[in-house]
């Protein structure tokens, strides 16, 4: 089929929207389902796995019987679509907003610095916390401040690697590693040479510079399954969405240039009027009709590279720390989430947190951009992380590690390489009644829960548009602070 399929869509006719079929019950598919069902459309979600949530999901640890997440998922304050989605589906109360972060200095200076906003307006609200970090010299702090200012001012469309951009800003190797890499590896799960300038700029501007709330972190207080599989599924079902799990789709059928239905792996068919394909990018082409999957824009999906994220779960016989989370400088461990403390806040509402803690603790340590971990065994990684934690909290050296395990998601996120946004397709597919949704589609956001929800909202908006509505589904971004605009606009 020629690439001109997409060119016939410039003035789409208004169509009658009856049933929307969504393939994929990850956040993108669920967000689209929420947006469409709340506007009165009939929606069916088909999910191949037994549970919803896609890459944000939980498993039961056989040895302890506990439900643990494949990996801790956090959302920043600038994730407005994700927050809206949580409010719409009644799960916002299952997240706790952290207005303080804790940075643990490098091994030779393991001070713990509390990081919180002062009363100054953005972009100065975090300056005093940053200035308290003793592992940066005064010269390094000045370098970082100049780098941040240059980043905010640089509105060029050029998309080199962020490491190349930093080289032009005279940022030393130590500053690159202990500041720029530290923030970006957690946000984008890649190393500086594999992150585009545009994606890096977005993290710092939206997250840390433009508004006072963008940097705050929302963490679920319950396992992810309780959020997506239980709470959101119940809300969607109540609003009339038909959710079918273990309903893997084998192929999409077309007739006269439109999708008419999907075939499930068990051979049954589901018909619909509008369709959303919300599966991971590497599965998209296999579900499309051959003539569409061979279009240049679709073939380009094969060029999207991915990055692994590992999470190490550790059970101790006693609490190592009362901190709910911590970010580590210059260590293999990047973020520690104290699941015992975090879930105590929710489960034991009103109960004494320490009482919940006395019986031991479970920590989850995240290692993003985990490319190099494949050279190590699971036991080696667990042992190194355990050592690092004991080094940070030396008075707990006698604590007994009861169990440790590592879960690695090898294709956790797409790599935000320079030029990646050119490869990401719009939500409107080359077939008029088929939308794409997923963090990999063109949203302006990296592979995040926010990106996934935005893509679902954009896909839903396109369907509403085809039904004659001009309503915008995507909520507004956080407004930029006046001082930020004055300094950098």
- Give me the residues that bind ligand FAD (CB under 6 A), please: 23-29, 46-49, 54-56, 70-71, 73-75, 248-249, 278-280, 283, 309, 409, 412-413, 438-439, 447-452
Pick the closer one to ligand FAD by CB: 169 or 231: 231
464: helix, strand or coil: helix
- Per 3-state DSSP, the chain is made up of helix, strand and coil in percentages (nearest 5) of 40, 20, 40
Beta bridge partners of 407: 311
CB of 74 to ligand FAD, least distance (A): 4
Pick the closer one to ligand FAD by CB: 210 or 369: 369
CB of 439 to ligand FAD, least distance (A): 4
CB of 215 to ligand FAD, least distance (A): 14
Pick the closer one to ligand FAD by CB: 133 or 278: 278
CB of 423 to ligand FAD, least distance (A): 16
Ordered DSSP codes for 153-198: H-------BHHHHHHTTT--HHHIIIIIIHHHHHHHSS-GGGSBHH
Pick the closer one to ligand FAD by CB: 248 or 345: 248
Pick the closer one to ligand FAD by CB: 45 or 323: 45
CB of 309 to ligand FAD, least distance (A): 4
CB of 485 to ligand FAD, least distance (A): 26
For 263, the enclosing helix (H) or strand (E) is strand 258-264
DSSP 207: I
Are 361 and 319 in contact by the 8 Å Cβ rule? The answer is yes
Q: What strand order describes the sheet that includes 258-264?
A: 249-255, 258-264, 269-271
Are 330 and 177 in contact by the 8 Å Cβ rule? The answer is yes
Q: Alpha helix (H) ranges present in 323-471?
A: 339-347, 353-357, 378-392, 420-423, 449-466
384: helix, strand or coil: helix
Burial label for 158, CB within 10 Å (0-12, 13-18, 19+), is: exposed
Pick the closer one to ligand FAD by CB: 171 or 454: 454
Burial label for 54, CB within 10 Å (0-12, 13-18, 19+), is: buried
CB of 219 to ligand FAD, least distance (A): 9
CB of 284 to ligand FAD, least distance (A): 9
Pick the closer one to ligand FAD by CB: 146 or 253: 253
Residue with tokens 């609003």, as numbered in its chain = 239
Pick the closer one to ligand FAD by CB: 319 or 438: 438
CB of 254 to ligand FAD, least distance (A): 17
CB of 448 to ligand FAD, least distance (A): 3
Residue with tokens 């890459």, as numbered in its chain = 55
Give the pair of three-digit tokens for residue 423.
């490869």
Q: How many CB atoms lie within 10 A of CB 139?
A: 10
Q: CA 11, CA 60: separation in Å to the nearest integer?
A: 49
CA 34 to chain centre: 19
Q: CA 269, CA 118: separation in Å to the nearest integer?
A: 58
Pick the closer one to ligand FAD by CB: 171 or 338: 338
Pick the closer one to ligand FAD by CB: 214 or 451: 451
């Amino acid at each position: 089929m020629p690439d001109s399929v997409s060119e016939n869509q410039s003035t789409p006719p208004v169509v009658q929207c009856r049933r929307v079929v969504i393939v994929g019950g990850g956040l993108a598919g669920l967000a689209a389902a929420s947006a469409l069902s709340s506007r009165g459309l009939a929606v069916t979600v088909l999910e191949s796995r037994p549970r919803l949530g896609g890459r944000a999901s939980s498993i039961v640890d056989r040895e302890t019987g506990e439900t643990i997440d494949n990996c801790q998922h956090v959302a920043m304050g600038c994730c407005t679509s994700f927050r809206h989605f949580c409010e719409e589906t009644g799960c916002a109360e299952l997240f706790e907003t952290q207005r303080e972060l804790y940075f643990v200095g490098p091994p030779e200076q393991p001070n713990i610095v509390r990081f919180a906003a002062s009363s100054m307006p953005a972009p100065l609200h975090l300056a005093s916390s940053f200035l308290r970090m003793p592992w940066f010299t005064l010269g390094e702090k000045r370098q970082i401040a100049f780098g941040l200012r240059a980043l905010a001012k640089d509105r060029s469309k050029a998309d080199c690697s962020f490491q190349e951009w930093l080289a032009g800003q005279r940022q030393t190797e130590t500053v690159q590693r202990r500041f720029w890499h530290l923030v970006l590896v957690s946000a984008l799960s890649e190393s500086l040479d594999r992150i585009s300038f545009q994606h890096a700029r977005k993290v710092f501007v939206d997250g840390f510079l433009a508004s006072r709330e963008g940097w705050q972190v929302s963490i679920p207080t319950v396992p992810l399954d309780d959020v997506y599989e239980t709470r959101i599924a119940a809300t969607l079902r109540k609003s009339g969405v038909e959710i079918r799990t273990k309903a893997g789709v084998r192929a999409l059928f077309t007739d006269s240039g439109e999708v008419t239905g999907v075939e499930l792996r068990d051979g049954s068919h589901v018909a619909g009027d509008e369709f959303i394909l919300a599966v991971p990018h590497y599965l998209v082409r296999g579900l499309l009709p051959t003539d569409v999957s061979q279009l240049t824009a679709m073939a380009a999906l094969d060029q999207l590279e991915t990055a692994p994220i590992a999470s190490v779960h550790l059970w101790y016989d006693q609490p190592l720390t009362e901190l709910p989370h911590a970010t580590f400088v210059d260590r293999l461990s990047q973020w520690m989430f104290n699941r015992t403390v975090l879930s105590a806040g929710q489960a034991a509402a009103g109960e004494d947190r320490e009482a919940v803690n006395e019986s031991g603790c479970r920590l989850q340590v995240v290692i993003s951009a985990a490319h190099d971990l494949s050279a190590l065994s699971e036991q080696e990684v667990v042992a190194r992380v355990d050592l690092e934690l004991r080094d940070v909290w030396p008075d707990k050296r006698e604590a007994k590690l009861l169990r440790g395990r590592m879960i690695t998601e090898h294709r956790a996120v797409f790599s935000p390489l320079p030029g990646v946004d050119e490869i990401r397709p719009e939500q409107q597919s080359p077939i008029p009644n088929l939308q794409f949704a997923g963090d990999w589609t063109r949203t302006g956001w990296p592979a995040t829960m926010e990106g996934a929800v935005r893509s679902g909202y954009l896909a839903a908006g396109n369907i509403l548009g085809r039904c004659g509505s001009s309503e915008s589904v995507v909520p507004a971004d956080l407004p930029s602070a006046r001082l930020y605009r004055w300094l950098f606009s």
